[in-house]
A and B are shown apart, each in its own frame.
Chain A
Amino acid sequence: EVQLVQSGGGLIQPGGSLRLSCTASGFMYNIYEMNWVRQAPGKGLEWISYISSSGNSISYADSVRGRFTISRDNAKNSLYLQMNSLRVADTAVYYCARFGKLNWYFDLWGRGTLVTVSS
């Protein structure tokens, strides 16, 4: 089955760190570009980071640049998001999402994992 399985997440105090993981199965992960998208409670979708298929090209939204790090391990079919200096405003459901082969649309999503930043 073609899917993205997410892990990580949970309750963390402000200023803390957390790492999210996303494991792909059912497709050739190493040829696809990947992203992280988040959704704060009751809010819309917010793209936060992109990584190319090789990992050589990366971009971040201004809201997380300098605090979050995206990475991937193609040998393990995995995508990661290292989140440091977490803020209350980072509280959200975090989704990993695959870009389509031919253009920059999200054609496959993980089920999401909730990150709650609170003291």
Chain B
Amino acid sequence: SYVLAQPPSVSVAPGQTATIICGGTNIGDHSVHWSQQKPGQAPVLVVYDDSDRPSGIPERFSGSNSGNTATLTISRVEAGDEADYYCQVWDRPSDHVVFGGGTKLTVL
């Protein structure tokens, strides 16, 4: 089955740029989606189809996807961005959703 790998944690100072990667074999052939989850809350979609943002998501959130790596970039990080971030794809051969293990973003 298809596997997505994320680093367990990323730390960044306020105002800096956070980069969260999601690795998978030929992930560039998939559409990658990113969700943000704060403690005790349901996840919220922040990027879909590699690089599109849902209504209401700040432009500071952006995404890219190529080769074996997809990336979520958060510019001008704020304290309120501290959360777990999950990448996700639809694996067509198995008709399954696949999540990455999640990355905890800490704002220093």
Give the A interface residue count (CB, 8 A). Answer: 21
Whole-angstrom distance between the alpha carbons of A104 and B90 in the complex?
6
Judged by DSSP, the binding face of B is: strand
**B63-108 interface (Cβ within 8 A of A):** 84, 86, 88-90, 94-102
**Which residues of chain A come closer than 8 Å to B102, judged between CB atoms?**
44-45
Residue contact B99 to A111, C-beta cutoff 8 Å: no
Q: Does A16 contact B (CB under 8 A)?
A: no
Residue contact B99 to A46, C-beta cutoff 8 Å: yes
**B37-78 interface (Cβ within 8 A of A):** 37, 42-45, 48-49, 54
Whole-angstrom distance between the alpha carbons of A62 and B45 in the complex?
25
Residue contact A105 to B99, C-beta cutoff 8 Å: no
**Chain B interface residues (CB < 8 Å from chain A):** 31, 33, 35, 37, 42-45, 48-49, 54, 84, 86, 88-90, 94-102
